[in-house]
């Protein structure tokens, strides 16, 4: 009997019919879509948590502001929220697809032929022959049968088993270069002391003007959000206490406009300079700069600059009073 190759052919056809593009491409497509969803979630988090639109429809960073004590006074800390909360950035960095197909096929064929013959002599019949006193009677009985049986059985069995394992690994992604740059810029914008109602900043709190060298002080005014206030008006007052040598002269701005001991400074850009010169011996003094914020509920803010004593060479000092 020839070997039946039908099962092998059937298995081969079944194996060739497996949709590998779906088996492999499906999980990969799902991983790519998951990655896109993760990126979208990161962007939505930044938009909804870290940014807002002001009244002019301009996007601004959301800041966290709170008051704290510093050197016995109230100070305000202003921090962009994106710099203090983790930004969800998930990346699918590994996809492992394992596929196993088990194909079983078998065929069996069974054939049986049988035959039988039977002869039975002794059937019924009679025959007489002879004459006279001698005669013979013969009875005959004969049966004949033929039997043939044939059996054929053919059976084919096929089984297919698929096993697919998909492993996906995701982790917190490294910060993109652009976002890292943005966060670095925001980090540098942290205001450790914005003042409860704003503040006047000066780069020098102690000055020593002399005949040979003047003292230049940079000044700027910020509101309670830590932003420069253009057009801020600041009053300046020079207090010499009980000193008699009031020879300190103040000049405002780049054009060196002379100012009196009590004057109002108009900071057009919110930032400018004050120049102090000594015309002669100068007794210790205190320069007070004051700004009145326009924000409702705010209080006047001020800062002080101390002036060290300057004695003109070969000058006669008045006698000190007896204690």
Query: What is each CA distance from 25 to 96, 97, 119, 136, 189, in whole angstroms?
Result: 12, 10, 76, 101, 47
Side-chain-side CA neighbours of 91 within 13 Å: the count stands at 6
Mean pLDDT score, 87-103:
83
**Token match 């060479």: residue?**
313
5 pLDDT more than 70: no
Residue 182: per-residue pLDDT: 86
Residue 8: per-residue pLDDT: 66
Q: How confident is the model at residue 4 (pLDDT cuts 50, 70, 90)?
A: low
E-strand stretches of the chain: 51-53, 59-61, 63-70, 73-80, 90-121, 126-129, 136-139, 142-172, 199-202, 206-207, 215-222, 232-239, 248-252, 257-259, 262-267, 271-278, 285-291, 301-307
Q: Could you give the CA distance from residue 188 to residue 80 in angstroms, rounded to a whole number?
A: 10
Q: Which of 296, 261, 274 lies closest to 219, judged by CA? A: 274
> What are the tens digits of pLDDT across the range 231-290?
999 999 999 988 888 999 999 999 999 999 999 999 999 999 999 999 999 999 999 999
Alpha carbon of residue 276 to chain centroid: 52
Token couple for 233: 């008006």
* Residue with the larger pLDDT of the pair 109 and 170: 170
Q: Which of 102, 106, 153, 157 lies closest to 4, judged by CA? A: 106
Cβ atoms of 90 and 110 closer than 8 Å: no
Residue 185: per-residue pLDDT: 86
Residue 270: per-residue pLDDT: 93
Q: Could you give the CA distance from residue 21 to residue 106 in angstroms, rounded to a whole number?
A: 29
pTM: 0.56
Residue 197: per-residue pLDDT: 83
Q: Domains of the chain, with CATH numbers?
A: 6-100+163-188 (no CATH), 199-307 (2.60.40.2410)
Token couple for 59: 């996007």
Q: Which range has the worst mean pLDDT, 32-36, 156-160, 272-276?
A: 156-160
> What are the tens digits of pLDDT across the range 105-155?
666 665 666 665 555 554 555 555 555 565 556 565 656 566 666 666 666
Q: Which range has the worst mean pLDDT, 33-37, 58-62, 230-234, 314-318?
A: 314-318
């Amino acid at each position: 009997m020839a070997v039946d190759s039908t099962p092998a052919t059937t298995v081969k056809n079944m194996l060739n019919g497996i949709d590998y593009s779906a088996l492999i491409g499906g999980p990969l497509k799902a991983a790519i879509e998951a990655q896109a969803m993760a990126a979208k979630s990161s962007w939505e988090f930044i938009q909804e948590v870290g940014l807002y639109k002001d009244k002019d429809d301009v996007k601004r960073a959301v800041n966290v502001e709170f008051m704290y004590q510093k050197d016995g006074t109230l100070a305000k800390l202003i921090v962009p929220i994106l710099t203090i909360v983790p930004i969800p950035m998930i990346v699918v960095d590994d996809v492992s697809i394992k596929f196993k197909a088990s194909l079983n096929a078998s065929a069996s064929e069974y054939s049986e032929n049988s035959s039988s013959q039977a002869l039975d002599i002794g059937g019924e019949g009679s025959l007489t022959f002879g004459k006279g006193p001698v005669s013979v009677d013969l009875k005959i009985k004969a049966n004949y049968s033929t039997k043939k049986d044939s059996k054929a059985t053919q059976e084919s069995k096929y089984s297919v088993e698929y096993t697919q394992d998909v492993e996906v690994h995701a982790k917190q992604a490294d910060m993109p270069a652009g976002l890292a740059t943005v966060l670095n810029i925001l980090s540098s914008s942290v205001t450790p002391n914005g003042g409860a109602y704003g503040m006047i900043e000066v780069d020098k709190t102690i000055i020593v003007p002399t005949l040979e060298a003047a003292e230049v002080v940079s000044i700027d005014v910020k509101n309670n959000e830590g932003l420069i206030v253009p057009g801020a008006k600041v009053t300046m007052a020079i207090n010499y206490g009980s000193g008699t040598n009031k020879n300190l002269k103040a000049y405002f701005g780049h054009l060196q406009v002379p100012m009196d001991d009590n004057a109002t400074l108009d900071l057009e850009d919110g930032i400018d300079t004050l120049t102090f010169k000594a015309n002669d011996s100068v007794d210790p003094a205190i320069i007070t700069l004051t700004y009145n914020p326009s924000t409702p509920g705010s209080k006047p803010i001020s800062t002080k600059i101390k002036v060290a004593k300057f004695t003109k060479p070969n000058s006669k000092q008045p006698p000190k009073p007896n204690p």
